[in-house]
Structure 1
């Protein structure tokens, strides 16, 4: 062996003797620490990869979440889950169908009393005394009204009324009155009424008023019995303030005569008013007293009382 090679071995041996190689426990602890570091590094690398994949997916894939609307922008309503089918005409949802009550055939709707408006009053079948008006205190003369079987309308050229066949019941009375400005008991009356109330079958009362208007128009004049000789009577319709549901007012005029049958130069005027309230017609025929004439204001006032009494009766 050469001298240079021997010097090299000695140098390596001296360097190895100078280094502390450590005991086996120290070497094992260092090896375990390096192994834990390698496992932790691998775990961190896997986690970083997973986070990267998740972030990349959100960036690349289309966003399915709803983007918040800007401030002030209304959010569209969510579609209904199970709304009823819209109607053909307006797009509004059809209401739910109620079950059919027992005993009612399909297609028959129950109707409440107020569903089609206020219930129509029933046609009465009898006329009580309270259906007739009472004279105002200033018109009473101490003679009580008397119920009689009287003609309710004057003759108008022999007119006939087909509505008579629709009568259910009729009551008539005679009423004696005085004018307010005249004295009371013991004074000669100023007039009388033939006052009637008639019930007609449903829907037929207005026929009487139509026929009465026609009868007056068709009979503008006719001869009527006078005290000593016939006199010419003239009839005409008058414009009337509405009473009840409808009314007809007409007058009859004829020359007045004295007890000897001679003309007095004045005219005798009679007023007749027919008023319908539903299926009921009440008529006031003013016939005067000893050649007195009808006073329109008095007939109007008593007509209003007659309508009020009938309405209270019918309820």
Structure 2
């Protein structure tokens, strides 16, 4: 291009709005810094009790006291963990025997209920769904005595069998709700295609719906596992220290060791909470993803 054909003026770049890029970056940095400070503050509030719990579990008898709760152990010891494991290991195994079948059975039944209520509509389906959800809002304390009399009249033995049945029954409302919401998001074309191929309700559920229900199964299994593992009220009424879950054994351990050694109680609390912590650590991201998978209709 010759000098005669060159443009007489060059395009002028517009100045950034808002006082320049540096000011915008400064505001952005300040906002992000305040956000991280707030998150760090709340994280410290959550972790302070955990710190005291862990540190005290490694202290000896004379070292574990409220006065030295914030201090590191004078001498680190594993005796508290050994004593807590000796006391709680039978109850931990009984709790595993309880929560695994309770979580699996309630999840499977909730999946069936959710599929029928979401995709195979019948007269009075909304009323049935409302009545199922009504079970979520009944306080356990209000029905505990009649429920105890009912279990006794049915000759169901106390301990793990009673607790499995109770956790399955009381887990059905939340599992049904989660699965129904998830199945409402499934495209109608899948169900219609199965019907065209001649599949009935059970075949459609087993061959089409069940294989794509993994996200919701992860959610309800984690929910039911942690709910049954951490339950204490049912354990008090329907079991004893000889045949009850770990929460009841932990309560007995704390009452017996509290006046002698806080470290044993702290180690026992960590042992009792370790399975649920591991479940959330390993499956936490799948829990959030599965919980949100049915929130938007596909």
User: So what's the TM-score if we normalise by structure 2?
Assistant: 0.21
* Bigger relative CO (Cα 8 Å, ≥ 6 apart): 2
User: So what's the TM-score if we normalise by structure 1?
Assistant: 0.20
| Larger fraction in strand | 1
Q: Which has the larger radius of gyration?
A: 1
| Larger fraction in helix | 2
